[in-house]
Chains A and B, each alone.
Chain A
Amino acid sequence: MAEVRAEMVANVWKIVVAEGDTVEEGDTLVILESMKMEIPVLAEDSGVVAQLKVAEGDVIQEGHLIAVIE
Chain B
Amino acid sequence: MLTMIGKRLMFAIPSLIGVVIVTFLLTRALPGDPAAYFAGPAATKEAVEQIRKKLGLDRPLIEQFFRYTNDLAHGDFGNSLTTGQPVATEIRNRLPASAELTLLGLIVSIVIAIPLGVLAATRPGSWVDHLCRVTTTAGVSLPVFFTGLVLVYVFYFRLGWSPAPLGRLDVFYSAPPTVTGFYLIDTLIARDFEAWRSAFSQLILPATTLAIFSLAPIARMTRASMLAVLASEFVRTARASGLSPATVIVTYAFRNAMLPVITTLSMVFSFLLGANVLVEKVFAWPGIGSYAVEALISSDFAPVQGFVLTMAVMYVLLNLIIDILYGVIDPRVRLEG
* A and B co-occur in one complex: no
